[in-house]
Homo-oligomer: A and B are copies of this chain.
């Protein structure tokens, strides 16, 4: 995708300089900085301190980190394993992270050490390419949904999409999941306007999704999370598309807190509610989303303190809540499959039912 007109991925390599380059997402939208990482340890720090975030993006960054680890190991399997562990331990709950590092380790296991650097770079590029390719295919499969809505609208009125949180290209290597159909439609010349939920408490919508859409030239408007129901009641939303952090084999969807409320409003107003995901997001062992998906409870300071830019231009934290009041901060909620119109995957769109999912993914996750 584009940043000020130039195409970027969230992570890439510079073999000549022997560095991994990432977009430092902590400062978006206020500043755009590319950071050079020249060791596996620097990559680990970048993941742990959230210079990068989002499942696909973290996985690809760790895969590139293994390329730097292969350089540093100088043929020592022990040293390689040690650096790999340091990468995996940065964010223990992120599934893509361990998967990407393990895939890299396995590829090197039977190779002579003098092939490690070349093979790990090729492996990292493959993981990053696969992530981008799956997201691009999500876009291609979602595009007909948006073009069909456009054809039914009078004149050349834009298709009105509502999205929650950031399931954009910043969370992957390119294209994003929920945003992929939007970008595909926009490039296909379909007029589109996106309502962007600010997504309290961490404001990923107001900061990241809005920034992405602006840089791609997609018309959009940021709204508070409270506003979506009113817009849906008044025919200002044609379709809702969100991402997901984990999806059960029966189609229940865990996503950023507040997604369930938007699904309820879409259902109440007969508006299609789609969830876009690469199939790596399926948890094939899990059937009952409400009962079995553990919901992370994060630090309440994320609710009571917010970072923003002051009128003078600096970044500052301010406290928003009555000082003596406790806060609570559940990070995700589960939208039951009955509220999900369909799942947009890299293989196509299916109903959010166990049978439809199993038909599209017959080997249930073993790809």
Contact (Cβ within 8 A) B325 A230:
no
Q: Decide if B310 touches A318 in the complex (CB within 8 Å).
A: yes
Task: With A223-B303, A226-B225, A226-B258 as known contacts, state yes or no: A203 contacts B320, CB within 8 Å.
Answer: yes
Contact at B29–A196, with CB atoms within 8 Å? no
> Given the complex, which residues of B lie within 8 Å of A131, measured CB to CB?
none
Q: Known contacts A210-B321, A317-B311, A325-B210; is A303 also within 8 Å of B264 by CB?
A: no
A333 and B222 in contact (CB under 8 A), knowing A309-B319, A321-B206? no
A214 at interface by CB-CB < 8 Å: yes
Q: Of residues 220 to 244 in A, which have CB atoms within 8 Å of B's CB atoms?
A: 220-231, 233
Bits for A307-331, please: 1 = Cβ < 8 Å to B, else 0.
1111100001111111111111110
Known A-B contacts A210-B321, A214-B325; A200 and B226 likewise in contact (beta carbons under 8 Å): yes
- Beyond A222-B321, A224-B303, A318-B308, whether A229 also contacts B258 by CB under 8 A is yes
Least distance between A124 CB and chain B CB atoms (Å) = 30
Contact B260 A320 (CB under 8 A): no
Q: How large is the interface on A (under 10, 10 to 19, 20 to 34, 35 or more residues)?
A: 35 or more
CB proximity of A305 to chain B, nearest CB, Å:
8
**A34 on interface, CB distance cutoff 8 Å:** no
**B327 contacts A264, C-beta separation under 8 Å:** no
Chain B residues positioned under 8 Å from A309 (CB to CB):
318-319, 323
Q: How far is the CA of A294 from the CA of B323 in the complex (A)?
A: 36
Which residue of chain B is the closest to A264 with respect to CB atoms?
B264
Contact status A226-B257, CB under 8 Å = yes
- For residue A198, CB closer than 8 A to chain B, the reply is yes
| A86 at the B interface (CB under 8 A) | no
Q: Bound complex: CA of A329 vs CA of B226, how far in Å?
A: 10
CB pair B333 A318 closer than 8 Å: no
Across the interface, do B198 and A228 meet the contact criterion of CB distance under 8 Å? Answer: no
Residues of B within 8 A of A201 (CB): 224
Q: Assess the B221–A326 pair: CB atoms within 8 A.
A: yes
A18 at the interface (CB under 8 A from B): no
Is A304 an interface residue, CB under 8 A from the partner?
yes
Identify which of residues 247-273 in chain A touch chain B, using a CB-to-CB cut-off of 8 Å. Answer: 256-258, 260-262, 264-265, 268
Tell me, in angstroms, the Cα distance from A308 to B317 when the chains sit together.
Answer: 9
A interface list, Cβ under 8 A from B: 29-30, 195-196, 198-201, 203, 206-207, 210-211, 213-214, 220-231, 233, 256-258, 260-262, 264-265, 268, 290, 295, 303-311, 316-330, 332-334
A225-B226, A229-B260 known; 5 new pairs, CB 8 Å cut-off, are A206-B321, A214-B324, A233-B260, A260-B265, A309-B319
- The 6 A-B residue pairs whose C-beta atoms are closest, nearest first, are A226-B258, A308-B318, A210-B322, A230-B333, A29-B322, A210-B325
